[in-house]
Structure 1
Amino acid sequence: MRAHVKQTILKYRLSIDFTEFKKLKIDPIKATFDIAVYHLSDEEFIEREIIRQIDKSNNNHIGYFHQNIFRYIQDWEVLESGYDIVNRKKSYYAEIKNKFNTMNSNAKENIFRKMQQTIDSDSKAICFLIEVISKESKNLPWSVKIDDKVVKNERIRIISIDKFYEIATGDKDAFAKLCKHLPQIIQDVIESEGVEIGFSSESKNIRESLRKVHPNLLGALYYLAFSNYEGFKDFTQNQ
C-alpha cells in the first residue's frame, strides 16, 4: 500500500513551463470575464490558471491510484486495455470512473455494448461500472438507453466503490478504512521517503515570457489564441 501511495505521489505534477503553457490555448474571452467578475489582477489569473492546469493533470493520476490499488488485492489484475481490472477466477470485469457524471451518452453506450459482448461470450461473467464518487451507495443492474430503448441486464452492474470494495475484499467497510488511513499513509510516505511536495510553479517565468509576447498579460493571451486571425497582428489591449 505504501509503495502504491508513493508511486501516485511521484506522478503528481508540481509545475508547468511556458512551452506547456502556450500549448494550453487558454480562452482569452473567458479570461477577460474572469478577471473582471472576480476582481483579479492579470497576475492572479495566470497563477490560478497554472494551478488549474496542473490539477487537471493530477486528476488522471488519481485515476491511476484507484485502478492500480487492485494490484494489491488478491485475485485481481490491472489491465492496459479492454477493462480496467479483472478477476479471472470469478469472471469479474470492471471499468472505473471517478465520478457519476463523467460519461456522455455515447460513452455509456459503448461501454455497455462491450460488457454485453463479454457476458454473451462468458456465461459466468459479471461486468461492473464502478463509480468512485456516486450519488449513493449502490449495486444495481445498469440501465442504458440504446437506439431509443432502455436496456439492462442483471449481469451488467453499476456500483459505488464502497460496494465494490466489499465484493473485492469481503469487508463491507474496506473503502471507509482506506479513506480513514490514507492521509496518514501519505504523510508518512512524504516524510520517510523525502518526496518533493508543494507547487514549484514557473508562474514568474511564465509571466515574463508572456510580456515578451505582449506588454499586457491579457493582451498576450489574446495574441497567443488569435494571432492568425484578422486584426490581431498588431493587437493591443489595455495599454
Structure 2
Amino acid sequence: MANKYLSYISDEHLLSCIENLHKSYLKAKANVSKKKFYSNKIDTIKLTFDASFNELDEVTLIKTEINRQIDKSINNSIGTFHEQILGGIKGYKVGNFSGFDIKATDNTLFADIKNKHNTMNSSSAESLFQKLANYADTYKKAECYWVQILAKNSFNEKWFGEINGKEYSHSRVNKISGDQFYKLLSGRDNALFELYNILPKAISDYLKNFKTEKSQNNSALEEIQTSSKESKRSILDEITFENYSYYLGFDKLE
C-alpha cells in the first residue's frame, strides 16, 4: 500500500514523530509553577525595559515571559523532530546521544543538525568541526555534515574557514542547508517542501485520534501575585527580590 503522506518515510513513522513533538509541547506548557519559572534566573532589568518600551502592564509582562520560556523549550524540540524524521529514512538512523545526530547505517555519513544557522558561537563551531573531522578520519569513506535546517541560502559545500584564529578544512567535512540535506538522504529534490506541505493534514489526522487531557493552568503568575500582595511589593519588585535578594542592596526592596 502506498504511503498516505510522504514517499520517503512510513506514515507510522511520521505520525510517531508528530506525537513525540506534541508531547514536548504538552510538557512545556504543563503547569509552570513559580519554582519552575524561577529555575532560570529572571532578567528583571530587561523586564523593566520591556514594561516601559513595549508598554506592557506587569501581568501582561509576566505572561509574556512565561510564554517566552515555553517557546524556548519547544524550539529545542523542533531540531529533535527533524532528527527523528530523517532517521526514519531507509539506510539512516538517529544518534540518540551517541555524538552524532544522524548517521548512515553503513558509516558513510555522519551529521550534526542545528535547527537555525546562528545557534553556535565560535567555540561551539570549532568543537563541531573537530568532531566531524574526527568522524571523517575514523571512517575513511564517510562524508560529514553540519546541517542547518533553517539556513540563509540553499547550499551543499565544503566547510572551511577561520575559527578562533585557526584555519580549518577537511576534504570530507561539509556544511549543508536543510533542504539539501533532506534531498541528500531521501533522494527527492523537494523532500523538505513535501514535509512542510503535508504537515497540516498529518497533524490534523494525528489530533483526531488524540485523547485530550485536562490542561493545567500556569500557576506562576498567581503565586507571584499572592506573595506580592503579602510583601506589598510590585510584581516586578517581588520577582526581583525573590531572584536576587542575596545581591548587595536588593534585600532592601519594599
SS at the partner of 2:197?
helix
Q: What amino acid does structure 2 have at the position aligned with 1:142?
A: W
User: Could you list the per-position Cα deviations for residues 79-101 of structure 1 after superposition, in whole angstroms to 9, with x for gaps in the alignment?
Assistant: 12211110032510000001111
1:10 to 19, 23, 36: 23
Gaps of 5+ in 2: 1-13
When the two structures are superposed, what TM-score results if normalisation uses the length of structure 1?
A: 0.91
Q: Does 1:27 align with 2:43?
A: yes
Residue 99 of structure 1: aligned partner: 116
Q: What amino acid does structure 2 have at the position aligned with 1:225?
A: N
Residue 184 of structure 1: aligned partner: 201
Distance (whole Å) between structure 1 residues aligned to residue 160 and residue 44 of structure 2: 41
Q: Does 1:39 align with 2:55?
A: yes
Structure 1 residues 115 and 145 mapped into 2: Cα distance closer, same or farther (>3 Å)? same
Q: Is the 8 A contact 1:18 1:209 kept in 2?
A: no
When the two structures are superposed, what TM-score results if normalisation uses the length of structure 2?
A: 0.86
Distance (whole Å) between structure 2 residues aligned to residue 142 and residue 199 of structure 1: 46
Residue 151 of structure 1: aligned partner: 168
Moved more, 177-186 or 211-220: 211-220
Residue 72 of structure 1: aligned partner: 88
Distance (whole Å) between structure 2 residues aligned to residue 227 and residue 180 of structure 1: 51
Q: Does 1:225 align with 2:238?
A: no
SS at the partner of 1:23?
coil
Q: Give the C-alpha shift of residue 205 in structure 1.
A: 2.2
CA RMSD after TM alignment:
2.0
Structure 1 residue ranges (4+ consecutive) displaced by more than 6 angstroms after TM superposition: none
Gaps of 5+ in 1: none
Of all paired residues, the percent bearing the same amino acid is 32
Structure 1 residues 214 and 185 mapped into 2: Cα distance closer, same or farther (>3 Å)? farther
Residue 60 of structure 1: aligned partner: 76
Moved more, 146-155 or 122-131: 146-155
Structure 1 residues 207 and 193 mapped into 2: Cα distance closer, same or farther (>3 Å)? same
Distance (whole Å) between structure 2 residues aligned to residue 197 and residue 110 of structure 1: 44
